[in-house]
A and B are shown apart, each in its own frame.
Chain A
């Protein structure tokens, strides 16, 4: 048992390391292609972009670890961004109320996803897909296609500062992400809840028989995923100032890609958030390198897919050796 445990950790750490090495290598390549790419400002900017993917990937990691998936990311994120600006009207005084309600909305939607998966036995793909449609319809309908008067509001200054304000010369957003990395890693690696999560991912039935609250844990994990999507939406609107329609769309693909690159096993039970975070960083670095090379949109889209396939094949091979 102990040996097995060490082996698993070894493989997870190795993959996290691969993702980190890939990120560093991409920065080096970027510097060669476009001098100044690996400069401090540039690295900070790229990591800030990566942090939004990383936050969504945190939620995605939670559900992928139990063999699930969250396809409701795009419109939970988008809905959260619009909800925040319309509730706060760009005023700091209303920011706390707006933040709590928006995060509550995200967690609530995630909770519904979890109830569908855990209690109604609906496949995760279907329930989160349907929920994405529901959120899209509600977001578009209630905001009149983003034509409502309050929709043009800016994010409250305090939220904007939470993203941009430099602390020791580094944007606050990066400290936020670091905090999330530490907390999520701690929760997954060191708490009962985390161990239950891995147990369910490895064998839900055995976990149930061993006394793990499978349904309760599942619901909680989906709620966390919704919460992180909403958090990413809030910070993204703080980053850009205003909300827009479709701003959440890229994050579905990118969050799943980050999770896969980071070595989280898509059928659950193996992987770490540090890996997914490293995956987010290397994915964003890759996009930035391609941008620096003036690669057109379609080329980036193709390379995205190819990179994921290559990694999947490499990891699959490693699986066979172990």
Chain B
């Protein structure tokens, strides 16, 4: 229950303004830097060398599905919503990819487009229920999560199927971190989106839905598009997951519902809507992967992995809140 008094904002120096506006982004990059340094230290202790191209490539490739899911989740969270069905969409699209993609260019391109379309359609269902049906995002996406998971198992009852090696090479080259190019593309798209009419509408909806509506922003349309985009990005996550695993599994996406929220929160996106950046969420996704890497090298029993993820999540959220409060108080 934050006091509404924070609204009386005075002018402050430009630098301080910039810092406090991007505090989430700064925090997540500080966190990422700390994680990378810690990882290098542990790596040095174990291997007497610094991590190289191989480690970078595998980190990037392992992060791609989560980074995609986190971008989609960001857009929905910005509207003050939440998409719990991300895991189900990844399950279903991953299964579709593993069952259908054949080793020829036509099939690869065609099915990639089709799978992304399926993701859009699934997201559209969420968006219509939330936007037009005016239902609560959490329950809607919890219900569709169950439906999508069911459909995924219908498509691929047992783990299996196969992804052609050339498809894997195109998406997540195992030898070089080319996948970073896709991320760079996403960042560019994000920067354009942020300044587009649609982007502004989505931020406005999250900040104050009533005011946005009063200012002529099409709230329902904005929400529907936000969930649809989340579906598309989750589908992209499903494709990357299939490419990294080189096979399909209709349950392998389940964890992404939670981890995409973790990435978004670590990335400084405000869960009460209207504030945040997909760039932060991508960094948040990398922090999540780095935590796993660090745990691996620090010889901590992998069984404790969720414990540390949960702990870091709480620390990040509380630290973000405390630092934000301090900055606001100093003014």
Shortest Cβ distance from A301 into B: residue: B150
Question: A267 contacts which of B136, B262, B304 (Cβ < 8 Å)?
Answer: B136
Q: Are B271 and A305 in contact (CB under 8 A)?
A: no
Decide if B186 is an interface residue (CB 8 Å cutoff).
no
Report B-chain residues with C-beta under 8 Å of the C-beta of A132.
258, 310
Q: Are A133 and B143 in contact (CB under 8 A)?
A: no
Chain A residues near B (Cβ < 8 Å):
69, 116, 120-123, 125-127, 129-138, 140-141, 144-145, 204-205, 208, 214, 253, 256-257, 260, 266-267, 297-302, 304-306, 308-309, 312-313, 316
Q: Are B318 and A299 in contact (CB under 8 A)?
A: no
Query: B59 to chain A: closest CB distance in Å?
Result: 21
Q: Are A316 and B150 in contact (CB under 8 A)?
A: no
Q: Are B143 and A130 in contact (CB under 8 A)?
A: no
Decide if B153 is an interface residue (CB 8 Å cutoff).
yes
Report B-chain residues with C-beta under 8 Å of the C-beta of A267.
136
Q: Are A138 and B307 in contact (CB under 8 A)?
A: yes
Decide if B48 is an interface residue (CB 8 Å cutoff).
no
Q: Pick the 4 closest A-B CB pairs, nearest first.
A: A137-B307, A133-B310, A301-B150, A305-B147
Decide if B299 is an interface residue (CB 8 Å cutoff).
no
Q: Interface SS of chain A: helix, strand, loop or mixed?
A: helix
Binds A, one of B105-113, B127-135, B200-208: B127-135
Q: Are A313 and B133 in contact (CB under 8 A)?
A: yes
- 13 new A-B contacts, CB < 8 A, other than A256-B142, A312-B133, are A131-B310, A133-B306, A141-B301, A141-B304, A205-B1, A266-B138, A298-B149, A298-B154, A301-B147, A301-B149, A308-B142, A309-B140, A309-B143
Q: Are A300 and B1 in contact (CB under 8 A)?
A: no
Report 6 cross-chain contacts, Cβ distance below 8 Å, ordered by A residue.
A121-B321, A126-B317, A129-B310, A298-B154, A301-B150, A302-B147
Decide if B151 is an interface residue (CB 8 Å cutoff).
yes
Q: Are A302 and B272 in contact (CB under 8 A)?
A: no
Report B-chain residues with C-beta under 8 Å of the C-beta of A69.
138
Report A-chain residues with C-beta under 8 Å of the C-beta of B317.
120, 122, 126-127, 130
Decide if B311 is an interface residue (CB 8 Å cutoff).
yes
Question: A126 contacts which of B143, B149, B152, B271 (Cβ < 8 Å)?
Answer: B271
Alpha-carbon distance A86/B118, docked complex (angstroms): 47
Decide if B261 is an interface residue (CB 8 Å cutoff).
yes
Q: Are B146 and A304 in contact (CB under 8 A)?
A: yes
Decide if B309 is an interface residue (CB 8 Å cutoff).
yes
Q: Identify the interface centre among A69, A214, A267, A309: most chain B CB within 10 Å of its CB.
A: A309
Q: Identify the interface centre among A116, A136, A214: most chain B CB within 10 Å of its CB.
A: A136
Report A-chain residues with C-beta under 8 Å of the C-beta of B153.
297-298, 301
Report A-chain residues with C-beta under 8 Å of the C-beta of B115.
none
Q: Are B140 and A312 in contact (CB under 8 A)?
A: yes
Alpha-carbon distance A316/B130, docked complex (angstroms): 11
Q: Are B1 and A204 in contact (CB under 8 A)?
A: yes
Say whether, besides A137-B306, A137-B307, A301-B147, A214 and B1 are in contact (CB < 8 Å).
Answer: yes
Alpha-carbon distance A125/B273, docked complex (angstroms): 14
Report B-chain residues with C-beta under 8 Å of the C-beta of A301.
146-147, 149-150, 153
Decide if B314 is an interface residue (CB 8 Å cutoff).
yes
Report B-chain residues with C-beta under 8 Å of the C-beta of A302.
146-147, 150-151, 154
Decide if B183 is an interface residue (CB 8 Å cutoff).
no
Question: B150 contacts which of A129, A144, A256, A300 (Cβ < 8 Å)?
Answer: A300
Report B-chain residues with C-beta under 8 Å of the C-beta of A298.
149-154, 157
Q: Are B82 and A136 in contact (CB under 8 A)?
A: no
Alpha-carbon distance A313/B271, docked complex (angstroms): 25
Report A-chain residues with C-beta under 8 Å of the C-beta of B327.
none
Decide if B19 is an interface residue (CB 8 Å cutoff).
no
Report B-chain residues with C-beta under 8 Å of the C-beta of A127.
314, 317
